[in-house]
Amino acid sequence: MDRYLSQEMVSPFLFGVGSFSSIALAIGSLFELIRLITDAGLNIFTAVQIFALQLPGFMVYSFPMSVLLATLLTYSRMSADGEITALRSCGISVARLIAPALILSLMVSGLTFVFNEAIVPTANLQAKNTLKAALKQENPQFKSRDILYQQYGQIPLPDGSTEEGLVRSFYARRFDGKKMIDLTVLDFSQGKIQQVLSSESAIWQPDQNVWEFKNGTTYIINTDGSYHSILKFDQQKLRLPRAPLDFAQEQRNPEEMNIAELKRYIDLVRQSGNLKEERKLDVRLQQKYALPFICVVFALVGSPLGIRPQRTSAAKGFGVSVLIIFGYYLLLFVCQALGQVEILSPVLAGWMPNIICLGAGLFLLNRVS
Tens of pLDDT, residue by residue over 22-50, are 888 888 788 888 888 888 778 888 888 88
Residue 350 backbone dihedrals phi, psi, to 5 degrees: -75, -35
End-to-end CA distance of the chain: 19
More confident residue, 278 or 113: 113
Mean pLDDT, the chain, whole residue set: 85
Band (228; pLDDT cuts 50, 70, 90): confident
Q: What is the pLDDT of residue 313?
A: 57
Enumerate the H helices of the chain as residue ranges. 2-25, 31-39, 44-80, 83-89, 94-97, 99-114, 120-134, 243-249, 259-272, 275-290, 294-307, 314-340, 346-368
Band (293; pLDDT cuts 50, 70, 90): very high
**Among the ranges given (124-138, 278-292, 346-360), the one the predictor scored with the smallest mean pLDDT:** 124-138
**pTM score of the predicted model:** 0.74
Band (315; pLDDT cuts 50, 70, 90): low
Q: What is the pLDDT of residue 150?
A: 78
* pLDDT over 90 at 109, yes or no: yes
User: Can you tell me the mean pLDDT for 111-121?
Assistant: 91
Q: What is the pLDDT of residue 329?
A: 87
* pLDDT over 70 at 311, yes or no: no
Band (5; pLDDT cuts 50, 70, 90): very high
Q: What is the pLDDT of residue 359?
A: 92
Band (166; pLDDT cuts 50, 70, 90): confident
Band (158; pLDDT cuts 50, 70, 90): confident
Q: What is the pLDDT of residue 335?
A: 92
Neighbours of 255 (CB within 10 A): 17
For the CA atoms of 93, 97, 100, 105, the dihedral, rounded to the nearest 10 degrees, stands at -100
Starting at the earlier edge strand, list the strands of the sheet with 162-175.
145-156, 162-175, 179-187, 195-205, 210-221, 227-238
User: Can you tell me the mean pLDDT for 161-165?
Assistant: 78
User: Can you tell me the mean pLDDT for 201-224?
Assistant: 85
Rounded distance between C-alpha atoms, residue 240 and residue 153, angstroms: 13
Q: What is the pLDDT of residue 77?
A: 87
Rounded distance between C-alpha atoms, residue 70 and residue 11, angstroms: 8
Q: What is the pLDDT of residue 317?
A: 66
Neighbours of 286 (CB within 10 A): 21
* pLDDT over 70 at 254, yes or no: yes
* pLDDT over 70 at 302, yes or no: yes
